Structure 1
């Protein structure tokens, strides 16, 4: 993935977080389009990287470069970035889908639909069959996809809320003057 594409996805994520705060001002169609783009990005990331989030070992780097890897230029940065897992936007969508899966039976069905639709990219008929919808229930399928997007949007909004962005602890600090007594 190029740096421009990564920056574009980060900007998409920030736009979604901003728009979730302004949800009353955004029409539902725009929300669904935005979440659809994020879900497609999540599917691409999962297809390319899977759930792996590891960096290469030092011994693997030594074996690959027959000694220490170069520390300057673009090649050093490429070593650190490759295989580092999902980017921030895709990781947030992944966490939202996992939260749906843990919620209840309907949430598990929506999470399964998300996996089938965006990660595995199976046909609509196969998605309907796996989820348990009738063969001729096209309208019901579209309603399920809409519900999926709205639920993921709600999860993203909850995860990107003002409470999650605070990093400063809001409690009184206590003086630890008698540490030996504990």
Structure 2
């Protein structure tokens, strides 16, 4: 992925977070378009990187290459030098789709549709068949995609909300000087 695309996607995430704060003034069509772009990015990231979220140990690299690994980037095993795993935007969408998958039957079907459409990129006819819709239900399929985008947007908004930015601890902290009083 080029740097321009990465910067554009980061700006899209920032824009989506800003628009969540002023959700009453956002056009629904624009909201769906932004979520669609984020989900396409999520699918690209998942296809390229999988679900890997960590780097191998240095000792594993030493054992694999019987010494220092080559740094030329030529053919052979690709060694990740600077980070691995999904970027922040793709990780948030991945978490939102996973949350959908843990929901009721309709939400689980929407999560399956997201995987089929954006990750596996199979044809619309195959998606319709695997999800269990009627054969010629193009309009129904479009409604399901719209519902998917709205549910993912709601999950992203909930994950980026003000509550998310607070600490987990909801009780007051005691000062160390008052520790003997307890």
Q: TM-score range by the shorter chain?
A: 0.7 to 0.9
Partner of 2:81: 79
Q: 1:95 to 1:181 in 2, by over 3 A?
A: same
- CA–CA distance in structure 2, aligned partners of residues 103 and 168 of structure 1: 23
Per mean C-alpha deviation after superposition, the further-off stretch among 19-28 and 162-171 is 162-171
With a CA cutoff of 8 Å and minimum separation of 6, indicate the structure with the bigger relative contact order.
1
Q: 1:57 to 1:137 in 2, by over 3 A?
A: same
- Deviation string for 1:60-101 (max 9, x for gaps)? 44355933888xxxxxxx6132xx100000000000001111
2:38 corresponds to 1:47 = no
Partner of 1:73: none
Q: 1:168 to 1:101 in 2, by over 3 A?
A: closer
- CA–CA distance in structure 1, aligned partners of residues 66 and 38 of structure 2: 37
TM-score w.r.t. the length of structure 2 is 0.84
Higher-helix-fraction structure: 1
Partner of 2:174: 174
- Deviation string for 1:116-173 (max 9, x for gaps)? 0000000000000001011111100000000000000000001111121235967533
Per mean C-alpha deviation after superposition, the further-off stretch among 4-13 and 131-140 is 4-13
Q: 1:65 to 1:179 in 2, by over 3 A?
A: farther
- CA–CA distance in structure 2, aligned partners of residues 60 and 4 of structure 1: 33
The alignment partner of 1:121 has SS state of coil
1:2 Cα offset (Å): 3.0
1:8 Cα offset (Å): 1.9
- Gap regions ≥5 residues in structure 1: 71-77
1:56 Cα offset (Å): 2.2
2:119 corresponds to 1:119 = yes
- Deviation string for 1:23-54 (max 9, x for gaps)? 11011100000000000000000001111112
The alignment partner of 2:172 has SS state of coil
The alignment partner of 2:36 has SS state of helix
2:148 corresponds to 1:155 = no
Partner of 2:68: 67
**What RMSD over aligned residues (CA atoms) do the two structures have, in Å?**
2.6
- CA–CA distance in structure 2, aligned partners of residues 39 and 128 of structure 1: 19
- CA–CA distance in structure 2, aligned partners of residues 67 and 105 of structure 1: 51
